[in-house]
Structure 1
Amino acid sequence: MTEYGYFLSSEEHRPADLVEQARMAEQAGFTSLWISDHFHPWNAAQGQAPFVWSVIGALAEATSLPVQTAVTCPIMRMHPVVTAQAAATSAVLLEGRFRLGVGSGEALNEHILGDHWPQAPVRLEMLEEAIQLMRLLFEGGEVSHRGKHYTVENARLYTVPDRPIPIDVSAFGPAATELAGRLGDGFVTNTPDADGVERFRRSGGGTKPAFGGVKVCWGPDREEAVRTAHRLWAVEQLPGELAQVLPTPAHFEQACELVPPERVAANVTCGNDVEAHVKTLDAYAKAGFDTVHVSQIGPDQRGFFDFYRTKVLPQLAG
């Protein structure tokens, strides 16, 4: 049976607000948490980008829910050794309720140190080496490594959890999905992609979990909800690899001028039609996902949680 979690948007909310949303999510009946890991928001209207590892520390005290990064890029801005230390500490604080979601990143967040932004095949190669390094470090022994992309000398994590940290791999295309099946402890994506789930399982994923994410905009006025979704998240309607290669929020704002509100209205569940929200989440269940994390776009979080607690989640449970 598919479970339903909440997706905390670090691009839209301040740290304390994210922690309060996590509390409300648990009270509403959601069973897990995703949290995004960004250095920049996608646009100035979103307006936030707190350091995810500090927020995770607060989440460990605020709720009893499992937490997963969705997703962290451990290849440039965060070296895999430093990412491993952050993840290990988070797993200890959360007493085993932590999963590390990883992906090959976007230039928006990862080019900030002035490094060359590699093409997608190179980034996947870097991600594979990073995953292998982090798994070695999670074992708690001393690690020295000289690979194609990373050099590590005498690194050891002294604070590690009792059990290995699951590493779930984000994927949107065939090559990344096959890497997720071959190396990941789970599969992460943001569309109800049944073909992707099947490719993941055929590539070695087997019965490992598939995690999906989706954004909605609940509100009593559907037209207003569409305007909110368009203002904050038109970026999700950009085609191709633009989301991976554009370098600044200003560039995304320019690109999003090409996204009409009608496209958002057609692709994002907006308003307070219970059946529309149920249908959106049920699409992930039918596609074979084990868990789907839903995120409310905009400031009306309390109204969203009341709506899902009383109207949507009871239908999905049935």
Structure 2
Amino acid sequence: MTSFGYFLSCEEFTPAQLLDQARMAADAGFERLAISDHFHPWNDAQGNSPLVWPMIGALSQTVPLPVTTLVTCPTTRMHPAVTAQAAATSSVLLDGRFTLGVGTGEALNEHVLGDRWPSFDERAAMLEEAVEVMRALFTGRQITHRGTYYTVENARLYTAPPARLPVYVSGFGPHAAELAGRIGDGFVTMGPDQDAIGRFRDSGGEGKPVIGGLKVCWSEDRDKAVDTVHRLWPNEQLPGELAQILPTPAHFEQASELVTPEQIAQNVPCGNDPDQHLKAIRAYVDAGFDEVYIGQIGPDQESFFTAYREHLLPVLG
């Protein structure tokens, strides 16, 4: 049975707002939380980007829900040994209810230290080695690793995870789906793409969880909701690899000028028609997703949680 969670968007909300949303999500009946890991928002209109790791610590003391990062890049901006320590501490704070979602990253966040932005194939190889390093550290044993991309010397996590810490791998193309099947404990993909899920299963992912997320904008005024999405999240409609290679919010704003309100209205559940929201969510259920995380765009959070508590989650449940 599919489990439904709430997607906390660090790009759009302050730390205090994210904690309020987590409380409302728990009260509304959502079963789990996902949280994004960004250095920059996608555009200036979103306007926020708190560091994910203290947010997870705060969430652990706020609500009893499991938390998953969607997703962390443990290869460039943060060394995998440091990411492993952050993830292990998060797991301890959450009594083992933490899942580390990882991916090959976006230049938007990972170029900030001045590192060269590698090709996908190189980023995928870096991610595979990073996952190997982190899993070794999660055992709590001292390790030394000298690989192609990373060196770790005499490192030990004295605060190790209380149980096996799952590492889910994100993928948006065939090669990434195959990598996720081969090295991941689960698969993260944002759209209900059955071909990608099939590749994941065929590459070693049979029986492993598939999780994804979608953005919606619940509002009594559908036109206002479309405008809100078009202002805050037009980047969701950009095609291909743009999300991985554009380096700054300004570049995303330039590219997003190509996104029309009509595209938003066609592709994002907007307004207060429960059937439209249910149709979008059920596409994930029908595609075989084990966990689906729903995020509300814009400031009208209370109406969203009320509607989902009263009209949508009971039907989906």
Verify same fold: TM over 0.5.
yes
What is aligned with 1:231?
Answer: 231
What is aligned with 2:292?
Answer: 292
* Secondary structure of 2:233 counterpart: helix
TM-score (norm 1): 0.99
What is aligned with 1:187?
Answer: 187
Deviation of 1:153 after TM superposition, in Å, equals 0.8
1:102 aligns with 2:102: yes
Q: Distance in 1 between matches of 2:240 and 2:280?
A: 23
Alignment of 1:167-186 (within 5 A): 167-186=167-186
Alignment of 1:121-270 (within 5 A): 121-270=121-270
Q: Which moved more, 1:196-205 or 1:87-96?
A: 196-205
What amino acid maps onto 1:178 in structure 2?
E
Q: Distance in 1 between matches of 2:261 and 2:102?
A: 31
* Secondary structure of 2:25 counterpart: helix
Q: Distance in 1 between matches of 2:299 and 2:185?
A: 34
Q: Distance in 1 between matches of 2:178 and 2:197?
A: 10
What amino acid maps onto 1:174 in structure 2?
P
Q: Which moved more, 1:156-165 or 1:34-43?
A: 156-165
What is aligned with 2:7?
Answer: 7
Deviations 1:2-56 (A, max 9, x none): 1110000000000111111011101100001000000000000000000000000
Gaps of at least 5 residues in structure 2 are none
What amino acid maps onto 1:113 in structure 2?
L
Deviations 1:183-214 (A, max 9, x none): 10000011011121121111101111100100
What amino acid maps onto 2:179 in structure 1?
L
Whether the 8 Å contact between 2:91 and 2:162 is mirrored in structure 1 is: no
TM-score (norm 2): 0.99
Deviation of 1:168 after TM superposition, in Å, equals 0.2
* Secondary structure of 1:269 counterpart: coil
Q: Distance in 2 between matches of 1:205 and 1:299?
A: 38
Q: Distance in 2 between matches of 1:276 and 1:260?
A: 20
Q: Distance in 1 between matches of 2:93 and 2:128?
A: 26
Q: What is the identity percentage for the equivalent residue pairs of Structure 1 and Structure 2?
A: 65
Deviation of 1:239 after TM superposition, in Å, equals 1.1
Q: Distance in 1 between matches of 2:267 and 2:278?
A: 15
Counting matched residue pairs gives 317
Q: Distance in 1 between matches of 2:196 and 2:259?
A: 26
Deviation of 1:162 after TM superposition, in Å, equals 2.1
Superposition RMSD on alpha carbons, in Å? Answer: 0.6
